[in-house]
């Protein structure tokens, strides 16, 4: 038996053996990834394809069988955007959006979400998810903020690790492991004006300070693949950036996996970024820069062959890329147990009650209570008639969010759409209307009016909505945004409520009835009117298939909300970006028209109970660079409900050789407290994590005094403060 077919050899030995048998054509094909819904046979038989994306249903098994019958029988790696559940697959479990999930600050739960996703992906015959997204989401105008973990690099790193662990398990050979993909490398969320895929005007120092750390954490967590961003950094498109992909990622950080381009990044080098005069030149640039797999640039195959023939690139570039790809295929066991889909298990496991339970738990933990005047929530037992009003009460798309059924990515006119048949979908999506109807006590009547369309200003029935509201004891208004206002190429110049939602809310306010607002939206919106006029605000994000049950449980008091914002809410779009970890400046923090403070800051989130913080202490007021700092604080639940509090630790390097953020999150801890209960919370951080990137772009901890801040949010008034000194 050939060495590469023999499982008793290591993945590395098998890779070397297989590579020695491959022709240049087979190597070039191995590096290609195309949409498998378009002429897959030619790609398998004539071009030795390495990977397909966006193939579902019975297709993966059919195509894999073909691949295994080819000369060398190299299995295909199937990729999919399962970024908040296997959400393109009919019947699968759909979790809240990544931004929603980040608001839980709960890595353990995220790991479970990712493990469930991996299990559902594997059962359908796929092997690789393009997740997690590690972009910093700090300009809400950008269309893809809903896909991020928010604005803080430290928190993103912690949550990324959890998701990678959930997807990949302890080792890739575990039967339910899939490959994770850290994307989009790098600074893709920082494009100017929030304009998708434009220039990220950041220096190396800024990259190393803010944008690269979460990706470095992903490498440490063993993330198998990386995706290069669409954007350019300081004039160099990511897929042309040898420093980024090769020098930093592969050499400095020792990344062993492979880099995939984003969708036709090579074509963009020529057509959009215009750093290559021809597609062939673009291929040379991409190959030399360190991209290993080329997503959706079908002509790469021919160009690579011609470049080798002309002697422009050396075959060793292809060898390195193929080794990285093949080794992961061996590690996944694709050559051995093949991972064919298991149709029997698909129908019983996808969206099963155990998986939905985690979707429900995640929906609960991802919701953030932004206002609760006079403790109007949870709903009092006196309330007998509820008016449920708004365009997002009963909207499946808005609730599931982007990268789920109906997402734009599925609708390629020339190829069949993915496998979503709502009429056969065995896992019904519980909308907020359904969730509230299911949960509300018998004596409570629910009257529902849509009130207005989310987009069409001419389509509303505000008068009927007002009448319904007048006949109620309280209004629950569910407003926000929907998929066409989020996603790739869907940046917004404005962040206000669209359609006639604002008019609807103002008319409801005039009724004088208690106004409880539930927001179902991909990302922060500018809602100063709501902040002032609503009695309560619950931010539900895109809460996934169990979102309706989650909202109902929180409104009726079955669950005490505990989510905290991972992204700041601007008061006005002109404040963008309004992230909490700003660099200090001389002219203060105010515009002519308004404050520079956000409407709701990073880390903010209320509860049905109250927590009191006291007795902040540090393990030592003087520490060496190799020491650990333990910060302790007492937290007491002084209210009536038991609940979970997320205790946050921020630092500030008071004087440093370069400007450093006014606050930086360095640790957090979740604690669960019964009414009256008091607990000491200890958060330990290595002093080595208090560093900065100096002018030479080196990471260093500079001796001096650091401010230590602990509390329930990043807002100054919420924080207890002390200082420590770091000595040389």
The footprint of ligand NOJ (CB under 6 A) covers 53, 81, 130, 183, 262-263, 409, 488
Of 488 and 653, which CB lies nearer to ligand NOJ in the complex structure? 488
Of 280 and 488, which CB lies nearer to ligand NOJ in the complex structure? 488
* Minimum distance from residue 127 beta carbon to ligand NOJ (Å): 15
List % helix, strand, coil for the chain (3-state, nearest 5).
35, 20, 45
* Minimum distance from residue 80 beta carbon to ligand NOJ (Å): 8
Of 488 and 535, which CB lies nearer to ligand NOJ in the complex structure? 488
Residue 185, classed as helix, strand or coil, is: strand
DSSP 570: P
Of 232, 135, 182, the C-alpha closest to 523 is 135
Q: What are phi and psi of 704, to 5 degrees?
A: 145, -170
* Minimum distance from residue 296 beta carbon to ligand NOJ (Å): 8
- Both tokens of 89, joined, read 């697959």
Residue 447, classed as helix, strand or coil, is: strand
Of 129 and 177, which CB lies nearer to ligand NOJ in the complex structure? 129
Of 53 and 518, which CB lies nearer to ligand NOJ in the complex structure? 53
**42 CB-near residues (< 8 Å, 6+ apart):** none
**682 CB-near residues (< 8 Å, 6+ apart):** 630, 631, 632, 669
Alpha-carbon radius of gyration of the chain: 26
Which segments of 382-539 are extended strands (E)?
385-389, 445-449, 474-480, 515-520, 536-539
Of 86 and 183, which CB lies nearer to ligand NOJ in the complex structure? 183
Q: Which residue is nearest to ligand NOJ (CB)?
A: 130
Of 482, 481, 454, 449, the C-alpha closest to 468 is 449
Of 262 and 365, which CB lies nearer to ligand NOJ in the complex structure? 262
- Concerning whether 174 is annotated as a catalytic residue, the answer is no
Helix (H) or strand (E) holding 129: strand 128-129
CA angle 562–564–568, rounded 5-degree value: 160
* Minimum distance from residue 522 beta carbon to ligand NOJ (Å): 15
* Minimum distance from residue 183 beta carbon to ligand NOJ (Å): 6
Torsion from C-alpha of 115, 117, 119, 122, nearest 10 degrees: -130
Angstrom CA distances, 52 to 232, 279, 505, 620, 631, stand at 26, 22, 47, 55, 49
User: Can you tell me the distance from the alpha carbon of 630 to that of 18, in angstroms, rounded to the nearest whole number?
Assistant: 51
Of 418 and 517, which CB lies nearer to ligand NOJ in the complex structure? 418
* Minimum distance from residue 166 beta carbon to ligand NOJ (Å): 18
* Minimum distance from residue 147 beta carbon to ligand NOJ (Å): 7
Between 353-366 and 547-555, two packed helices, what is the crossing angle to 10 degrees? 50
List the catalytic residue out of 152, 262, 292, 402: 262
631 and 596 in contact (C-beta within 8 Å)? no
367 and 551 in contact (C-beta within 8 Å)? yes
Q: What are phi and psi of 114, to 5 degrees?
A: -70, -35
* Minimum distance from residue 303 beta carbon to ligand NOJ (Å): 21
504 and 492 in contact (C-beta within 8 Å)? no
Residue 40, classed as helix, strand or coil, is: helix
* Minimum distance from residue 87 beta carbon to ligand NOJ (Å): 12
User: If you search the block for the tokens 């790991």, which residue do you land on?
Assistant: 111
Of 131 and 660, which CB lies nearer to ligand NOJ in the complex structure? 131
- Both tokens of 112, joined, read 């479970």
Residue 152, classed as helix, strand or coil, is: coil
The residues annotated with a catalytic role in the active site are 262
């Amino acid at each position: 038996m050939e060495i590469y077919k023999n499982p008793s050899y290591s993945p590395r030995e098998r890779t070397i053996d297989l590579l020695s048998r491959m022709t240049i054509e087979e190597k070039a094909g191995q590096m290609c990834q195309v949409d498998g819904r378009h002429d897959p046979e030619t790609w398998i038989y004539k071009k030795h394809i390495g990977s397909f994306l966006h193939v579902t249903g019975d297709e993966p098994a059919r195509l894999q069988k073909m691949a295994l019958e080819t000369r060398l029988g190299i299995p295909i790696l199937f990729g999919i955007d399962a970024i908040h559940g296997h959400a393109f697959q009919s019947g699968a479990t759909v979790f809240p959006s990544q931004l929603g999930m980040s608001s839980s600050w709960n890595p353990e739960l995220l790991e479970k979400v990712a493990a469930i996703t991996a299990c559902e992906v594997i059962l359908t015959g796929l092997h690789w998810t393009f997740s997690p997204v590690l972009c910093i989401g700090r300009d809400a105008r950008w269309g893809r903020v809903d896909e991020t973990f928010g604005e803080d690099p430290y928190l993103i790193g912690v949550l990324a690790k959890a998701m990678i662990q959930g997807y990949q398990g302890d080792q890739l050979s575990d039967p339910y492991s899939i490959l994770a993909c850290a994307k989009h490398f790098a600074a893709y969320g920082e494009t100017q004006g929030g304009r998708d895929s434009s220039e990220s005007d950041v220096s190396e120092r800024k990259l190393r300070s803010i944008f690269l750390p979460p990706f470095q954490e992903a490498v440490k967590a063993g993330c198998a693949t990386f995706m290069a961003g669409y954007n350019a950094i300081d004039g160099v498109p990511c897929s042309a950036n040898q420093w980024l992909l090769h020098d930093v990622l592969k050499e400095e950080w020792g990344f062993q996996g492979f880099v995939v381009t984003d969708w036709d990044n090579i074509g963009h080098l020529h057509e959009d970024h215009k750093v290559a005069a021809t597609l062939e030149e673009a291929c040379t640039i991409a190959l030399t820069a360190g991209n290993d797999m080329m997503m959706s640039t079908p002509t790469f195959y021919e160009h690579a062959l011609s470049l080798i023939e002309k002697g422009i690139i050396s075959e060793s570039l292809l060898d390195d890329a193929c080794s990285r790809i093949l080794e992961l295929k061996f590690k996944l066991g694709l050559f051995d147990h093949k991972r064919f889909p298991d149709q029997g298990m698909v129908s019983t496991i996808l969206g099963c009650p155990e998986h939905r339970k985690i979707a429900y738990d995640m929906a609960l933990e991802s919701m953030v209570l932004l206002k609760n005047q006079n403790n109007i929530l949870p709903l009092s037992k006196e309330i007998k008639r509820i008016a449920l009003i708004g365009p997002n009460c009963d909207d499946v798309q808005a609730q599931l969010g982007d990268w789920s059924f109906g997402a734009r990515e599925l609708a390629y006119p020339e190829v069949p759409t993915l496998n979503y048949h709502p009429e056969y979908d065995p896992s019904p999506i519980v909308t907020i209307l359904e969730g509230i109807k299911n949960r509300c006590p018998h004596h409570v009547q629910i009257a529902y009016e849509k009130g207005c369309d989310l987009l069409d200003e001419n389509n509303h029935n505000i008068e009927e909505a007002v009448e319904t509201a007048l006949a109620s004891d309280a209004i629950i208004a569910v407003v926000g945004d929907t998929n066409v206002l989020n996603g790739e190429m869907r940046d917004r110049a404005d962040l206000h409520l669209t359609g006639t939602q604002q008019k609807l809310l103002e008319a409801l306010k005039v009724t004088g009835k208690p106004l409880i607002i539930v927001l179902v939206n991909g990302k922060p919106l500018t809602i100063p009117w709501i902040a002032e006029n609503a009695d309560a605000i619950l931010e539900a994000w895109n809460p996934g298939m169990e979102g309706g049950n989650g909202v109902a449980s929180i409104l009726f008091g079955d669950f005490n909300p505990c989510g905290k914002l991972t992204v700041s809410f601007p008061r006005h779009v002109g404040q963008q970006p309004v992230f909490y970890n700003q660099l200090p400046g001389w002219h203060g923090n105010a515009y002519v028209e308004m404050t520079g403070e956000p409407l709701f800051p990073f880390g903010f989130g209320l509860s049905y109970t109250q927590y009191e913080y006291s007795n902040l202490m540090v393990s030592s007021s003087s520490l060496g660079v190799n020491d650990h700092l333990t910060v302790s604080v007492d937290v007491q639940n002084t209210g009536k409900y038991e609940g979970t509090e997320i205790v946050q630790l921020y630092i500030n390097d008071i004087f440093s050789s370069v400007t450093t953020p006014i606050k930086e999150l360095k640790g957090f801890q979740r604690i669960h407290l019964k009414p009256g209960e008091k607990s000491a919370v200890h958060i330990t951080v290595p002093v080595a994590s208090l560093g900065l990137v100096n002018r030479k772009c080196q990471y260093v901890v500079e001796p001096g005094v650091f401010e230590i801040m602990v509390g329930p949010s990043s807002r100054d008034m919420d924080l207890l403060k002390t200082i420590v000194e770091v000595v040389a």
